[in-house]
Structure 1
């Protein structure tokens, strides 16, 4: 270590690195609360150290009184000098008058406003590989300080003592101090932002206010259910894929299920060792809405009640009930026929299918039953009858992706509801084993199209919290979803929301729902970049940014079409090059 490199007294050298410690000497008349943050945000390696020592209240009062006594003596001397020279003795030098007023104000604060006095030493340490680079950094720090009315200077001939003072030992070896009050000290704490760093949590980005990592553990939230919402291209799929990866790595016993209407999670699931289950007219896989796999040991009455709700929701999806809801007569008929279908197959002949349900509907005397049977007919025979089979899909792999992108819009909602029933069965089985079930539903707004479907999904959402289900709804269109009272209740009862860039209509809906402040609205408006947004986790609201570095993980989570196409072209080029060399 050399504390006089090339005869310099304001820098030092350690091995091949040069360093400098600067001192905050003076403050302006108005101390701003952001000055320290402006220095910390400089793009350079630096460390800011504040040595703060409280002064006993009696000593502080005595100190201020002595200063006032000294000022009174100076005032008397000035007045006597003015009288001898024939001047008006009431005219005092401005600096002496202002100092007297400040001291009197300080004495009032200490006596009557619960203020305390502290000795303060502010040190800033920076380093660089060359002297020129270090000098540029020092000039930048001094310039930022001047812009905030701060006098910052290097500590000449005291760099050794200054270096010992910036080490994390809590010892101040530099006698460059001044007095500050409680309020002035508090304003210098650059921690005006709320931080989120929960043990065992996953990475969600960096705080836009402090730059610190945002780590959230949804299992520690009172209600870990939640939503990830944003416009197309806002980064919501990237965020969800990253959370899925975090979950797979952090909780090796938990099970993860994804509803994938766009077919964009397949590559990730394969990379994580999961299985993709494709539901389509030409697929070999099948899910039976009547299936009770994984829950054979549970109470029959409770299972039957939930199955009836599920079939009411399925009927709503296929009967295009609009906003009116199913008539009460239709509900009674569907309930009766679901019970009859299970009763008919109760002799050990397996689970009933849609064919059994359809046959029972046809046998009913009511005209409404024949109308319901007619609507179910296309799902019993023909190209759309692939749900009219016994289930051959099991959740034997802990990561399962339900690929729905080959289904039409109407069939997609039907498929989601059927898959929800399978997930509910699996949730019960996992709960009995002490395993958490994670469910991700993309395009969740499609489940808020009909009142009966909303009622079913809201019941599923509420019940899931009691059986270790952590469900995440993913949507790019939330204003329509939030118009429903049950949907609003689901949101308000969920402690996790990750909001990316919102369209103006969606932004207004979220601002009204969550009582967002003006600053919080700006974190999710049209001006932000992809990956930025607002994370709501319980009582914490943290604005985030996410400049995730490109690499293998970025490529795995990325959903930008142009970048994916570029990767595919590069892969084809590399493959052709290898083929030509061989």
Structure 2
């Protein structure tokens, strides 16, 4: 220690630590003092009451920067640093939105996710923990700051929010009037060639076909790649034609699934592909998969509801929706949030997980923040793309976890035992909020008006519907 002091590696300080305790009764005060004494003395820290100097002691713990007791101990820098755990992290800034209350010190958690290295976030929580409520609140507050929102909604939970703010809600199902054509192409940007746009879309379409047709052999993969190129060429959509005419009815309309079937039926070795594809061109699925797009994404909030889509078709429907959204995002640079709720549906297939990871990784270049939400942590982390998606997300919100998955969460986010227990017992609407290298305990709070717009509680929704009927009547 002497050598470190002489070389200025350590310094000596006069250190005082004063604690003021509060209680409603004299007995309560004694009980708290006894508990505090036993806790600290078990760690060889001995406390003394400020007898006949209570007023001076109270002044010492008030924000006057005065030490009237002057009970000091000489300490060097290293042991003195052990007092810093009494100071909690703060996540308040001059811009952004209110996420909630910091449970450590009751300060406001004000933050702008677009100021971080990337604007992506992941949310893990069990069903009913309040994750959808929190995301709706974030979307609502960012809409007020001029940020657009796009939501993939597996349970039609966001429909009321879309109606309340004048957004668009598209119900995606086999019987729906809303259709998405996977053959749609985005217009090339100024720094992009038409050939690159076409090639990228064909590669993504091969990935979609793997999901739709239950996998492709290497031979079928090559046939499908060639067939897709010929399908576009049959509509005169090639690198040589004018991209401004792509997709126009009076110009070069995009092909649909039946056009691909027609091309495959002329190719040798494609008999199995044609048979498997016919369920999407002539069967019961044709009403959704074999139609031109009729969706307008010009609204500031767009929600795709997939609750009524059959479970078997959900992974491919999610893939198609995400590709269509990506086409819109890349065609116009704009500050946006993309919410992928129950992302484990997309993570079930390697091609779906790969496309989601690609979206998350490239989002920053297009001023996009991707929020990935899931309650099935095990399935999410089993994918080779689960960990990379988390790594490429600067924001993380962990709410109540189940005992079956808490160990995976603890290992993934390097949580302490205390933090692990906090997540197991977290009340609804509370959790741990990670932003970059900082993390705090957070409680999500909404105003009465916000709560009426975003609530998912069945009893509250029934009251709101009843009130609407009475007003309408």
In the superposition, the TM-score normalised over structure 2's length comes to 0.82
CA contact 1:523–1:543 (8 Å) conserved in 2: no
The equivalent residue for 1:315 is 209
For residues 565-580 of structure 1, the aligned pairs below 5 Å read 565-568=462-465, 571=467, 575=470
The equivalent residue for 1:285 is 178
For residues 322-337 of structure 1, the aligned pairs below 5 Å read 326-337=216-227
Equivalent-residue separation in structure 2 for 1:153 and 1:567 (angstroms): 59
The equivalent residue for 1:61 is none
Deviation at 1:175, TM superposition (A): 4.2
What whole-Å deviation, never above 9, does each CA across 1:456-477 have from its counterpart, x for those lacking one? 3322332223222211111111
Residues 232 and 146 (structure 1), Cα distance of their counterparts in 2 relative to 1, 3 Å cut: same
Does 2:205 align with 1:303?
Answer: no
Deviation at 1:264, TM superposition (A): 0.5
Gaps of 5+ in 2: 37-46, 238-250
- More displaced 10-residue stretch of structure 1: 279-288 or 257-266: 279-288
The equivalent residue for 2:310 is 408
Equivalent-residue separation in structure 2 for 1:521 and 1:123 (angstroms): 29
Deviation at 1:327, TM superposition (A): 2.0
Does 2:158 align with 1:262?
Answer: no
Deviation at 1:556, TM superposition (A): 2.3
Residues 550 and 140 (structure 1), Cα distance of their counterparts in 2 relative to 1, 3 Å cut: farther
Residues 492 and 166 (structure 1), Cα distance of their counterparts in 2 relative to 1, 3 Å cut: closer
Deviation at 1:401, TM superposition (A): 0.6
Residues 371 and 399 (structure 1), Cα distance of their counterparts in 2 relative to 1, 3 Å cut: same
Deviation at 1:118, TM superposition (A): 3.2
Match of 2:123 among 203, 219, 228: 228
Residues 486 and 141 (structure 1), Cα distance of their counterparts in 2 relative to 1, 3 Å cut: same
CA contact 2:315–2:349 (8 Å) conserved in 1: no
What whole-Å deviation, never above 9, does each CA across 1:60-80 have from its counterpart, x for those lacking one? xxxxxxxxxxxxxxxxxxxxx
The equivalent residue for 1:116 is 12
CA contact 2:129–2:399 (8 Å) conserved in 1: yes
Match of 2:322 among 420, 424, 431: 420
The equivalent residue for 2:435 is 537
Residues 187 and 515 (structure 1), Cα distance of their counterparts in 2 relative to 1, 3 Å cut: closer
Match of 1:338 among 211, 224, 228: 228
Match of 1:557 among 442, 454, 458: 454
- More displaced 10-residue stretch of structure 1: 352-361 or 404-413: 404-413
The equivalent residue for 2:296 is 394
The equivalent residue for 2:49 is 151
The DSSP-based 3-state class of the residue aligned with 1:232 is: coil
The equivalent residue for 1:516 is 415
Deviation at 1:142, TM superposition (A): 7.3
Deviation at 1:478, TM superposition (A): 1.7
Residues 230 and 309 (structure 1), Cα distance of their counterparts in 2 relative to 1, 3 Å cut: farther
The DSSP-based 3-state class of the residue aligned with 1:544 is: strand
Q: Which has the larger radius of gyration?
A: 1
CA contact 1:202–1:215 (8 Å) conserved in 2: yes
The equivalent residue for 2:243 is none
Please report the RMSD computed on the Cα atoms of aligned residues, expressed in angstroms.
3.5
Equivalent-residue separation in structure 2 for 1:175 and 1:296 (angstroms): 69
Deviation at 1:137, TM superposition (A): 7.6
What whole-Å deviation, never above 9, does each CA across 1:33-92 have from its counterpart, x for those lacking one? xxxxxxxxxxxxxxxxxxxxxxxxxxxxxxxxxxxxxxxxxxxxxxxxxxxxxxxxxxxx
Deviation at 1:550, TM superposition (A): 6.9
Gaps of 5+ in 1: 1-104, 127-134
Deviation at 1:412, TM superposition (A): 2.3
Match of 2:253 among 350, 356, 361: 350
For residues 46-61 of structure 1, the aligned pairs below 5 Å read none
Match of 2:262 among 338, 354, 359: 359
Residues 244 and 137 (structure 1), Cα distance of their counterparts in 2 relative to 1, 3 Å cut: farther
The DSSP-based 3-state class of the residue aligned with 1:334 is: helix
Residues 150 and 338 (structure 1), Cα distance of their counterparts in 2 relative to 1, 3 Å cut: farther
What whole-Å deviation, never above 9, does each CA across 1:97-128 have from its counterpart, x for those lacking one? xxxxxxxx9x99999994534375959699xx
**Count of aligned pairs between the two proteins:** 445
Match of 1:459 among 342, 347, 358: 358
Equivalent-residue separation in structure 1 for 2:446 and 2:361 (angstroms): 38
For residues 466-477 of structure 1, the aligned pairs below 5 Å read 466-477=365-376
Does 2:353 align with 1:450?
Answer: no
Deviation at 1:442, TM superposition (A): 1.0
Does 2:278 align with 1:384?
Answer: no
Equivalent-residue separation in structure 2 for 1:267 and 1:345 (angstroms): 40
The DSSP-based 3-state class of the residue aligned with 2:114 is: helix
Residues 564 and 550 (structure 1), Cα distance of their counterparts in 2 relative to 1, 3 Å cut: farther
Match of 1:215 among 99, 110, 116: 110
CA contact 2:129–2:428 (8 Å) conserved in 1: yes
Residues 479 and 196 (structure 1), Cα distance of their counterparts in 2 relative to 1, 3 Å cut: same
The equivalent residue for 1:51 is none
For residues 32-43 of structure 1, the aligned pairs below 5 Å read none
Deviation at 1:267, TM superposition (A): 0.7
Equivalent-residue separation in structure 1 for 2:290 and 2:431 (angstroms): 43
CA contact 1:202–1:246 (8 Å) conserved in 2: yes
The equivalent residue for 2:276 is 375
